[in-house]
Structure 1
């Protein structure tokens, strides 16, 4: 039985924009650790947010389930979502110590795991939340999010602020935790160094669809690294997009060299003067 699944999933943010996800059909087995690969805008974050129940799907016939439960109507327990927006929340930038913050969200209930994570993430309990860096705040988020045991972990680029050592220690912890408890991880990232032996599956998204569905990743049978696989996929994505641009099916990116550019600041600002 799939622990994470989506069927006939299409999603649009509004009625006048192209869909962000189109015809998604995937199934992930229990205990799997899947890496989502795709360029910016491929739909990875949207998919993770939907699995987390943070966005509502209204497409007829679409199903989004975790542990065989509808994530919108019967939210399953044991699901943890960690995204990049947390560190910008003003609540977690208040004048409060890390120790008090973790206690306020129930850290005392999971003291053994909390303490283990504090060591792995190299967190100082005396840090003041309003004084620490974004990377240090990210470490606190990870401790907060991971200290309660999870069955399904949805990660959206949450290691981007971490230094190499802390990131590697965290990945080792997540892999070990997943293997010991049979827990499942779906992880979207753009950083592939040090990930070779982490995933059980890899998947490739492009323009809201899967080019490569979650596929078993067995490092012992690979002649290349995950980094190189991701690089090759992203190069294919760029060529695919450029072909769409050449045929007029999408707007071209990059410099517009035939477009007149104001040669002085007065001309530039006059162009955007709406007072007349």
Structure 2
């Protein structure tokens, strides 16, 4: 059997404040298979973002262990970074650059030659329907177009694992559906493992092969969307919201006003 794309054991993060320690993550155990789309859910303050930041090497754990894309998170963080892509919730496009510049610069940061970086930019533009936008300033893009460019940036190095942090928050329903199709295509065509954090339960239901629910820094439920609905809501035809409420007793935040594509 191939090794998991992500495996953690007792992954922990404690912040030390003047008021005392804050146990943001209290021991997360995760196994994510290669080529799996995992939905990572939880109410505000559950530890989702802290876990994501640890797995992407942005924040060192204070305890436990993890292997991501075959590399030890603590022993070889550079090896992890070479094999993952990360699309942050807040984005990060430079409004002064055009789409081509952004993609080529990302390729150069991954140590591609200028010619190889330009070729990779053209390749990704064709795959993600961005060719007509290559010479357009990122400041002139719609919300959905910006998100596609940000996902393209996360794919420049052909990652084994792609981390998406609430990728469709604020998008209108049409743009959201387009991005769902894009995520499915990335997995189908490249075998990419997708680690998706979201507060949109319909998104997790539509996209995820398996859902992990965290609360108070620990895993409180996991399984396929149908499994969770059957186990916690008593009906596989129920909504994932019903199962989520039964597990956590709390709601997720409302989606902000959608941005038209």
Distance, in Å, in 1 between the alignment partners of 2:140 and 2:189 is: 36
RMSD of Structure 2 on Structure 1 (CA): 2.8
Secondary structure of the 2:60 match is coil
Structure 1: how far apart are the matches of 2:30 and 2:204?
22
Partner of residue 117, structure 1: 128
Corresponding residue for residue 64 of structure 1:
66
Contact 1:156 1:189 in 2 (8 A): yes
Residues 1:2 and 1:105: Cα distance change in structure 2 (over 3 Å): closer
Q: Please list every run of 5 or more consecutive structure 1 residues that lacks an aligned counterpart in the other structure.
A: 241-276
Q: Normalised by the size of structure 2, how large is the TM-score?
A: 0.75
* Equivalent in the alignment of 1:36: 40
TM-score, with length taken from structure 1: 0.71
Corresponding position: 1:165 with 2:174: yes
Out of 238, 241, 244, the position equivalent to 1:230 is 241
- Relative distance call for 1:29 and 1:197 in structure 2 (3 A) is same
Structure 1 residues 47-56 or 75-84, which shifts more?
75-84
Shift of 1:186: 1.2
Q: Distance in 2 between matches of 1:8 and 1:69?
A: 17
Structure 2 unmatched runs, 5+: 108-116, 252-261
**Kept in 2: contact 1:37–1:230 (CA 8 A):** no
Q: Which has the higher strand share?
A: 2
What is aligned with 1:254? none
Which whole-Å CA distance do the structure 1 matches of 2:60 and 2:84 have between them? 17
**Secondary structure at 1:17's aligned position in 2?**
strand
Correspondences of 1:91-110 after superposition (within 5 Å): 92-106=93-107, 108-110=118-120
Residues 192-212 of structure 1 deviation map (CA, whole Å, 9 limit, x = unaligned): 335534221111111111101
Q: Which moved more, 1:161-170 or 1:26-35?
A: 161-170
Partners of 1:148 and 1:230 in 2: CA distance: 36
Q: Is the partner of 1:176 in helix, strand or coil? A: helix
Q: SS state of the match for residue 185, structure 1?
A: strand
Query: Using the alignment, how far apart are the partners of 1:22 and 1:169 within structure 2?
Result: 36
Q: Secondary structure at the match of 1:81?
A: strand
**Cα shift at 1:236:** 4.5
Aligned residues: 228
Q: Deviation per CA, 1:113-157, whole angstroms, max 9, x where unpaired?
A: 3322134xx973343234556555333212222344221111111
Contact 1:117 1:147 in 2 (8 A): no
Which whole-Å CA distance do the structure 1 matches of 2:250 and 2:148 have between them? 37
- Which runs of 4 or more aligned residues in structure 1 lie more than 6 Å from their structure 2 counterparts after TM superposition? none
Q: Secondary structure at the match of 1:12?
A: strand
Alpha-carbon deviations, 1:240-272, whole Å to 9, x = none? 9xxxxxxxxxxxxxxxxxxxxxxxxxxxxxxxx
Partner of 1:193, secondary structure, is helix
